[in-house]
Amino acid sequence: MRLFIKSNDYLLWDVIEDGTYVPLKQDGEGKMVLKKKVEMSEEERKKIQVNDKALHMLFCSFGPDIYSKVSSIESAKEVWDTLETTYEGTNDVKETKIGILNLSYENFKMEPDETVSKMFDHFSTIVNGLKGFGEIIPEDKLVRKLLYSLPESWDGKRTAIIEAKNLKTLKLDELVGSLLTHEIMKQ
C-alpha cells in the first residue's frame, strides 16, 4: 500500500507518516490557536486537503471490515497508526516478530527432500518478512546464507560456485538459477 500511495502523490504519504498540517495563529494573548476557515490562505487550505485525499485513498482501499474500524478517524496518520497496531502489533509485538524472523533466518537450512524452488520460497518469505520490518540484508549476505544452507549432498555444487563466481557480485536470482539447473541435471 505504501508504494501505491507514494506513486500517486508523495505528499499523501508525507501526511500519513507525519500528520496533517494544522493552521495556527497567535491570539491577542500570545497563545497559538487554530485559525478559522475564513482566515486560512489558499495554500493552507491545499495543505489541509492533502489529509482528506490521503484518507480517501486509504478508505477506498479497505474492505468493509477494516473500513468500519477506522471510518470515524479524521487524520490519515491516525488511520495508518491504528492499522499498524492492529495488524503488526505494538512495538513489543513487532520486536518479537523480528526476533522470530531473525532466528528463522539464522537457522535456515535446506531440507534434504526439499526442492530448490520450495527452499527459495521459504527463504524469500523470511527475508521479505524482515524487510517489511525494515531489516534489510545485503544481497551478498543472502547469497552466502543460501549457499551455506544447502545440505551435504550439494557440497560439490557449492564449492564449484564459490570457486567460479565472485560472491560479492553474484545476484541471488543467478544463484537460484544455477541451483535449479543443477537440480534438473541431477534428476
pLDDT band at 86 (very low <50, low <70, confident <90, very high): confident
pLDDT band at 31 (very low <50, low <70, confident <90, very high): very high
For the question of whether the overall pTM of this predicted structure is more than 0.85, the answer is no
Residue-wise pLDDT for 87-110, tens only, equals 877 888 889 999 999 999 999 999
Between CA 106 and CA 152 the distance in angstroms is 18
Position 145 scores a pLDDT of: 98
**Domain range summary for the chain, segments of one domain joined by +:** 2-88, 91-186
Cα(first)–Cα(last) distance of the chain, in Å? Answer: 42
Only one residue has cell 541451483, namely 179
Q: Is the pLDDT of residue 118 over 90?
A: yes
Residue-wise pLDDT for 40-78, tens only, equals 999 999 998 999 999 999 999 999 999 999 999 999 999
Residue-wise pLDDT for 125-173, tens only, equals 999 999 988 999 999 999 999 999 999 999 999 999 999 999 999 999 9
Average pLDDT along the chain: 93
Between CA 124 and CA 142 the distance in angstroms is 10
Q: Is the pLDDT of residue 84 over 90?
A: no
